[in-house]
């Protein structure tokens, strides 16, 4: 997606929420630590529960001890963990349809009781610099950009010489948030908390 393809309302809404980030709190990472970066752990499953989602017990067991976990590990191994979304190639192969990240998302969504929100939050936990949270609050705030939220956000972060990315880093600095917290996590919180503060009753 080129910058010319980027929806102006999407970009303007994103900037408005980031500029009004009233609650840079509860910013957590850790799922991409080298020893566990390529597998989903019990710690990851517990962590996503703090984000108001629960992985069904049968799926969690398959992830931790079964073939599903092995398949996901193979895909995670192919997803870079040392790159920020803004620095991904302009064609965004790492988040495009058919990429290992996209395959992992679809594999999770294919599991009984796992929806697009749960799948997205698990993958965001594992690749906090590259994959954003996209849940019902973010969808309510920013809509359903085409061809995908990942590609739309990638384009937005690179727009105007990466101005939005720099803004997120400045927010992190002013809020006193550790540099280990990625720009994407700052964006997640700014959008989600900012949208809720506006009093929206997001669809469930």
Between CA 69 and CA 136 the distance in angstroms is: 26
H helical segments located in 78-115: 100-109
pLDDT of residue 27: 42
Q: Distance between the two ends of the chain, CA-based, in angstroms?
A: 29
Mean pLDDT, to the nearest integer, of 84-96? 84
pLDDT of residue 26: 37
pLDDT of residue 106: 97
The number of helices, as runs of H, and strands, as runs of E, in the chain is 9, 0
pLDDT in tens, 50-70: 778 899 999 999 999 999 999
Instruction: Kindly tell me if the per-residue pLDDT of 24 is higher than 50.
Output: no
Between CA 182 and CA 28 the distance in angstroms is: 9
pLDDT of residue 35: 82
Q: Crossing angle for the helix pair 42-49 and 116-126, nearest 10 degrees?
A: 120
Q: Tokens for 121?
A: 């939050």
Higher per-residue confidence, 49 vs 119: 119
Instruction: Kindly tell me if the per-residue pLDDT of 194 is higher than 90.
Output: no
Higher per-residue confidence, 166 vs 24: 166
Between CA 127 and CA 105 the distance in angstroms is: 12
Mean pLDDT, to the nearest integer, of 70-85? 95
């Amino acid at each position: 997606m080129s910058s010319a393809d980027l929806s102006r309302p999407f970009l303007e809404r994103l900037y408005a929420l980031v500029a009004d980030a009233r609650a840079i709190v509860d910013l957590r990472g850790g799922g991409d630590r080298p020893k566990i970066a390529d597998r989903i752990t019990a710690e990851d499953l517990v962590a996503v529960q703090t984000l108001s989602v629960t992985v069904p017990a049968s799926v969690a067991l398959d992830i931790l001890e079964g073939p599903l976990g092995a398949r996901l590990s193979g895909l995670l191994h192919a997803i870079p963990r040392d790159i920020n979304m803004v620095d991904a190639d302009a064609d965004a192969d790492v988040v495009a349809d058919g990429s290992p990240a996209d395959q992992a998302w679809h594999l999770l969504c294919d599991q009984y009781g796992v929806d697009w929100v749960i799948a997205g939050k698990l993958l965001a936990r594992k690749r906090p610099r590259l994959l954003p949270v996209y849940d019902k609050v973010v969808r309510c705030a920013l809509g359903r950009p085409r061809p995908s939220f990942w590609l739309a956000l990638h384009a937005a972060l690179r727009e105007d010489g990466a101005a939005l990315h720099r803004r997120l880093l400045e927010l992190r600095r002013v809020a006193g948030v550790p540099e280990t917290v990625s720009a994407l996590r700052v964006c997640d919180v700014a959008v989600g908390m900012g949208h809720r503060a506006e009093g929206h009753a997001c669809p469930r």
